[in-house]
Structure 1
Amino acid sequence: MSATIYDALPPEAAPELERLARLVYETREHRRTVLQAVGAADEQTLLQRIIDGGIDEHPAYEHYLAARILAETHQAAREAMAASLKELNR
């Protein structure tokens, strides 16, 4: 069996990594839910539909903002998790 990136993790690192993993998962799923509510594949598509008048600005713009914030939070959590794992596996 080959070693994984988790083999060298100290037990005290687990709670923080668990929180980050949960944040990554939850932000991804909530973003998906927000976009599905307005029938958009991504934030840019939603924004273009608002600009073109294909969807009412309210509450679609709030959905757009929520999806953007969730996407940015998702990316930040992924980066934090990657940095933590890299540091722990030195």
Structure 2
Amino acid sequence: MNNPIYDVLPPEAGPELEQLARLAYETREHRRTVLEAVGAPDEQTLLERIVRRDIDEHPAYEHYLAARILGDTHRTAREMIAASLKEINRR
């Protein structure tokens, strides 16, 4: 099946977009793994559980920080992909 997005993608953009896509995927999956390790659906819930002392602060807070960093990195990678594709489509 032919995807029109690839028809306009210049060859030099491929490696960068591939790296960003890999980063987005890996950070999303690692965030999910970190949150599953403490049984939380998201960072806010995890932090609330720590504050209420439902779970021990250590290492739960480290899990919270890791999930936040991974989530932020995931969003940034997706934004960079979107910006790159927008720039490519303007050409």
1:28 is matched with which residue?
28
Q: Name the % identity.
A: 77
Q: Which stretches of structure 1, 4 residues or longer, exceed 4 Å deviation after superposition?
A: none
1:19 is matched with which residue?
19
2:37 is matched with which residue?
37
SS in 2 for 1:39: coil
Cα distance change on mapping 1:11 and 1:2 into 2, 3 Å: closer
Task: Give the TM-score, by structure 1 length.
Answer: 0.95
Task: Give the TM-score, by structure 2 length.
Answer: 0.94
What are structure 1's unaligned runs of at least 5 residues? none
The structure with the greater share of residues assigned to helix is: 2
User: Deviation per CA, 1:51-80, whole angstroms, max 9, x where unpaired?
Assistant: 001000000000000000000000000000
User: Deviation per CA, 1:18-58, whole angstroms, max 9, x where unpaired?
Assistant: 00000000000000000000000000000000000100000
1:80 is matched with which residue?
80
Cα root mean square deviation, aligned: 1.3
Report the count of equivalent residues. 90
